[in-house]
Structure 1
C-alpha cells in the first residue's frame, strides 16, 4: 500500500489522504496542514492543486460518491426506471449502516454539524456534502427524464423530496424499531420513487 502511494502524483496523494480522513471521521474538517501532512506533501503543493478548502472538499466528495454509487446503474434500460432509481437511492443509504453503525454515524453528524455554533467552516463543510448529494440525485432524475421515463418538471424540487426521504430513513436506521427496518425502508423508497415518477409536471 505504501509502495502504491509512492507511485501516485501529489494531487492523487492529497485526495487519497483526504478520503482516508473522511472515512475515519465523516465530519473531518480537512484542514490544509492536516491533509498535507497525511499525504506527505507540502501545503504549497496542496494549494497548487486545490486553491481553496472548498475545492478540496468538493473533489473528495465527488470521488467518494464515485466509489459508493454506481452511475452506470441508472443507464441500464433493461431494468425498469422505478427499480433503477430505487437501487441508486439504496446505494446512498448503504454506507450509513444499521443499528450501532447508524447510531455512530449520527453521533458524528451531531457533533460536527448540529452541536457546534454554525461557523462558516461548519456551514461550508455541510453544504458541500449536501450539494454533492443533490447533484447526484438530480443527475439520476435528468437521465430518466431524457429517456421519457419521467415527465419534465422541477428536478431540484423532486431531488429535495428524495433527499429528505433518505435523511429520514438514515435516522430511522439509528432508532429502535419493531419488525424489519429494511423491509419498511424498502416500502418507503418505492413509495417515494412512485410519487416522483407519477408527479406529472409538478
Structure 2
C-alpha cells in the first residue's frame, strides 16, 4: 500500500467517524460501523487506529481543533478572560439551541442515562469528556505560560470549566427567562474570573 493510499484511507476513516459524531453526539464509533461508513476494511481501520480509544481521541482532537482553533488564545492584545471565554463559547456552539440542543441531549440521555451504560458506551463517554478537558487544559497552559494565570492545578481547573460548559449545554434545553446568550455570557465570565482570580499555590 502506498503512502497516498494509506493517507487516503486514514482520512476517510476520520471523516466517517467525525460525521457519525456530528449526526449523533453519543455515537460509539464501533470499529465495524466506522469502517463500513468509510468504505474500508476493519483491518485497514485497525492498521491506522489499533484501538477504539485511539480512533475516538484522534477524531475528537480534530473536531475540537476545527470548532475551537487555538490561534486567538495566543493573542495577547486581548484580555486573557475574553480569550478564554471565547474558546469556551466555541465549545458550546455545536450543541445548538432549542430543538437542536434538545435532540442532542435526548440522544445523550438515551445512550448514557436511560439505562445503565455498557462498558463500550461508558468508554465512549469518558473519551468525549477527557478530550474536552484536555483541550481546556491546553488553553489554561497557554495562559499560565504567559503569566496571566497563576501556576496551579490546571487539570482541576479544566474539570471545573468543563462542568460549567456541560451545565450550560443542558440549560439550552430548559425553559429560561433570559436569552441563552445573556445567561451563558454571564456564567462563562463568572467561571473564568473564578479561575483567573485564584491566588498562586504553594
TM-score range, shorter chain: over 0.9
TM-score normalised by the chain length of structure 2: 0.93
Q: Deviations over 1:134-154 (max 9, x none)?
A: 001111111001000011111
- TM-score normalised by structure 1 residue count: 0.93
Shift of 1:24: 1.2
1:165, 1:198 → 2: CA distance?
A: 17
Deviations 1:157-194 (A, max 9, x none): 11111111111111111101112221111011111111
Matched, 1:123 2:138: no
Deviation at 1:35, TM superposition (A): 1.2
Corresponding residue number in structure 1 for 2:41:
42
- Quote the offset at 1:197 in angstroms: 0.5
Name the CA shift for 1:176/1:117 in 2 (closer, same or farther; >3 Å): same
Structure 1, unmatched stretches of 5+, are 1-5
Cα RMSD for the two superposed structures: 1.5
Please say if 1:191 is aligned against 2:190: yes
**1:160 matches 2:159:** yes
In structure 1, what is the equivalent of residue 149 of structure 2?
150
1:110 has 2:109 as partner: yes
Matched, 1:85 2:116: no
Please tell me whether the aligned partners of residues 111 and 117 of structure 2 are also in contact (alpha carbons under 8 angstroms). Answer: no
Distance 2:156 2:32 in 1: 38
Q: What is the deviation of 1:117?
A: 1.8
Kindly state the Cα deviation for residue 118 of structure 1 after the two structures are TM-superposed.
Answer: 2.5
Q: Structure 2: which 5+ runs fail to align?
A: none
How far apart are residue 21 of structure 1 and its match?
Answer: 1.2
Q: How many residues align?
A: 197
- Hey, what does 1:64 align to over in structure 2? 63
